[in-house]
Structure 1
Amino acid sequence: MPRPTARVLTLLELLQSGGTRTAAELADRLGVEERTVRRYVDRLIDLDVPVESVRGRYGGYRLAPGHRLPPLMLGDDEALAVLLGLAAGRRAGLTTAQRTASETASAKIRRVLPKHTARRLDALLEALAFTERPDEPDRPDAGVLLTVADAARHRRPLLVHYTDRDGRHSERTLHAYGIVSHSGRWYATGHDPRIGEDRTLRLDRITAARTLPGSFEAPADPDPAQRLLSGFATAEYRHEVTLRIHGTAEQIRAHLPAAVATLTDHEPATAQDPAAERWQRVDIRAQRLDWLPPTLASLDRPFVIERPDELRDLVIAFADRLASHARRT
């Protein structure tokens, strides 16, 4: 590559690192005079790279937002970080309905990687394994995702077209607090002013969203992730379970997380040791009960089943099976 061209690309890389760079700083980094820096800047502008001149004592050059993304200059480590992030994002469901966007981005970066770096990346991806393999994630529309995010950030109401689990279509107003990615799905948490209640909507079920005039006041601590988990734990299900478990919150939460159960003190904590084991009330709503006996067994803490009786029968039957297996020789 001719040396002036290499310096122009180095200048672009320096500007892409962010902030305003003085002509003197750029000249020192490139090993040229300041007038040569100005010539290189003109060359970038001729290539439609949006370089701005900043006047004043702390003036210099910086990249301005443009309609076209300027060519990115990535080092080997940066390219590997981006490719691994794209691979992990696809694996975790952190992608939109435009699935090909992440795939084409990966392909573009891979094409310009040095051969030895590409080989190392291929070796890493072949050796990489995950402990869980989730179902195919539900991907929201990219336009919907960005519209909801912008409305949540600026506290603007949204009009959304939504399809529920039974296939019913509706038009709703949502005061979105934020967006949460959970178990391969995207959710918007917020308030529905029509019914006066908080709602959690799956983004892949929103077919259209647009911002409405006006604004809204969010709660002091909206915490979208916590609201999502609390909503899961309190949603209507077939069975309502109430337990008393003797242990610490950490011991119980290790097997019954916030998305599954709500936890309240059944007896007050002592001032001497507020984290000590004590009886705590656990409320669970579930479609099925068969997973609870082995979960309670793995918890290995004293517990009392307050309701339903069906769970008590399942626990006794599970204990009998364990005892029967243990007696076998």
Structure 2
Amino acid sequence: MTRPTARVLALLEILQAGGTRTAADLAQRLGVDERTVRRYVEHLVDLGVPVESVRGRYGGIHLVPGYRMPPLMLTEDEALAVVLGLVGSRRDGSTSRSAGTGGLPGASTVALESATAKVLRVLPKTLARRLDALLTGVQLTAPTGEPTAVQADHLLVVAEAARDRRPVALEYTDSQGRRSSRTVHPYGVVAHSGRWYVTAADPAAPGVRTFRVDRIAALTTLPGSFEVPEGFDPVGALLQAVAGAPRRHAVRLRVQAPADAVRGMFPAGIATPDGTDDEGWTRVVIQVERLDWVPTVLAAVPVPFVVDGPEELWSLLQALAARLTAAAPATVQAASPSAHPSSSPSAPPAAEAAPAADV
């Protein structure tokens, strides 16, 4: 939005507060001269907004009495797109698990919060209430990833149910194409890597489960209520579930550091630490579809570690080691020791299963 257009809208907002304002007062508030204020008034009149200019000692500029801006007519998808754009812009590096947000340049937190409030204020009440539930309840992780299309009303209904602690009935299709009907208690909504998830308890199955909102075929809010376990962390539950979801390859390694420290050594949602032994080594499992990117992730681990499998990974590690060695001066290469990955100790048992995730 250009600055003149923004100031025309700012003028309209001032006038909607009521009363008659002098051109000098408006000029001071908008940071322009009085001639520019009169030009902005002409713009509003051209747009059909009934602005009157009254001459004389007690004159000034005001809206015709009784005039109100009509409700902002947005579909649920349009309103969701606008508000989520504002949500993404207000994320910053201080937000838990949300570094690298790519927000609007130069937009302050106060301005973004104000813009969000204004959008909600002029939307129909039902839609505004649902969007507010999503805004106040959603948690985000990083990286954002390529967005996956989601049905707006499903996302808004499940966010509202999570806020109000209401059970919901789902018609759900999982990653294997299996369709099921179930009743769940939504604990929270999380945006992760471009996808929307709901973490929920299923009374028919133990533990907390995660569901992708874009795989919900039908959704109904049910009567009743439930309690969320004290201290429950929807983001932590999702990341643990995503990391433990079975994939083509299970990379097994041991890292010489406590489990809490190991979690911070890997990108969110890819590694599952599984306890630390008496010598300070933590077993880790990384579930992946492809192995080609794993060596670069392991190269960033700042403490000693041992890769126990799979064997297909070892040649990729050797290739990366050779490339890095070749980049060093010849004198350094000659002095560098080398070790074959196959000399690693036997693999530890696989990690225990994480909460079920449909990723």
Place the TM-score, normalised by the shorter chain, in its bin.
0.5 to 0.7
16, 40, 44: which one aligns with 1:9 = 16
Give the aligned partner of residue 257 of structure 1. 267
The answer to whether structure 1 residue 309 and structure 2 residue 319 are counterparts is no
* Contact 1:93/1:184 (<8 A) preserved: no
- Matched residue type, 1:227: A
Cα–Cα, structure 1 residues 6 and 259, in superposed 2: closer, same or farther, change >3 Å?
Answer: closer
Aligned 1:45-56 pairs, distance under 5 A: 46-47=66-67
* Contact 1:244/1:266 (<8 A) preserved: no
* Cα deviation code 1:18-53 (max 9, x no counterpart): xxxxxxxxxxxxxxxxxxxxxx9xx87x4468xxxx
285, 297, 311: which one aligns with 2:287 = 285
Cα–Cα, structure 1 residues 83 and 205, in superposed 2: closer, same or farther, change >3 Å?
Answer: closer
Q: Once the 2 structures are TM-superposed, how far is the Cα of residue 181 of structure 1 from its aligned partner?
A: 0.9
Give the aligned partner of residue 232 of structure 1. 242
SS of the residue 2:292 aligns to: coil
* Moved >6 Å (runs of 4+): 248-251
The answer to whether structure 1 residue 143 and structure 2 residue 150 are counterparts is no
The 1-side partners of 2:84 and 2:166 are apart by 34
Q: Once the 2 structures are TM-superposed, how far is the Cα of residue 254 of structure 1 from its aligned partner?
A: 5.0
Moved more, 177-186 or 289-298: 289-298
Cα–Cα, structure 1 residues 169 and 47, in superposed 2: closer, same or farther, change >3 Å?
Answer: farther
- Matched residue type, 2:295: P
Segments of 5+ residues of structure 1 without an aligned counterpart are 13-39, 50-67, 72-81, 95-104, 110-131, 270-277
The answer to whether structure 1 residue 204 and structure 2 residue 214 are counterparts is yes
Q: TM-score, normalised by structure 2?
A: 0.51
* Cα deviation code 1:32-76 (max 9, x no counterpart): xxxxxxxx9xx87x4468xxxxxxxxxxxxxxxxxx6489xxxxx
Give the aligned partner of residue 125 of structure 1. none
Cα–Cα, structure 1 residues 293 and 83, in superposed 2: closer, same or farther, change >3 Å?
Answer: closer
Q: TM-score, normalised by structure 1?
A: 0.55
Q: How many residues align?
A: 225
* Contact 1:293/1:318 (<8 A) preserved: yes
SS of the residue 1:218 aligns to: coil
Cα–Cα, structure 1 residues 84 and 244, in superposed 2: closer, same or farther, change >3 Å?
Answer: closer
Q: Once the 2 structures are TM-superposed, how far is the Cα of residue 211 of structure 1 from its aligned partner?
A: 1.0
Moved more, 245-254 or 163-172: 245-254
Q: Once the 2 structures are TM-superposed, how far is the Cα of residue 225 of structure 1 from its aligned partner?
A: 0.9
SS of the residue 1:148 aligns to: helix
Q: Once the 2 structures are TM-superposed, how far is the Cα of residue 180 of structure 1 from its aligned partner?
A: 0.5
The 2-side partners of 1:263 and 1:309 are apart by 20
The 1-side partners of 2:88 and 2:234 are apart by 26
Cα–Cα, structure 1 residues 246 and 47, in superposed 2: closer, same or farther, change >3 Å?
Answer: same
Cα–Cα, structure 1 residues 157 and 6, in superposed 2: closer, same or farther, change >3 Å?
Answer: closer
Aligned 1:175-194 pairs, distance under 5 A: 175-194=185-204
The 1-side partners of 2:84 and 2:273 are apart by 40
The 2-side partners of 1:258 and 1:87 are apart by 18
Q: Once the 2 structures are TM-superposed, how far is the Cα of residue 317 of structure 1 from its aligned partner?
A: 4.0
The 1-side partners of 2:163 and 2:218 are apart by 18
Give the aligned partner of residue 320 of structure 2. 318
Cα–Cα, structure 1 residues 237 and 193, in superposed 2: closer, same or farther, change >3 Å?
Answer: same
The 2-side partners of 1:187 and 1:323 are apart by 42
142, 156, 161: which one aligns with 2:171 = 161
Q: Once the 2 structures are TM-superposed, how far is the Cα of residue 328 of structure 1 from its aligned partner?
A: 7.8
- Matched residue type, 1:202: R
Cα–Cα, structure 1 residues 153 and 85, in superposed 2: closer, same or farther, change >3 Å?
Answer: closer
* Cα deviation code 1:238-285 (max 9, x no counterpart): 22232112247687445413401123552569xxxxxxxx53332222
Q: Once the 2 structures are TM-superposed, how far is the Cα of residue 190 of structure 1 from its aligned partner?
A: 0.5
* Contact 1:255/1:295 (<8 A) preserved: no
Cα–Cα, structure 1 residues 247 and 194, in superposed 2: closer, same or farther, change >3 Å?
Answer: closer
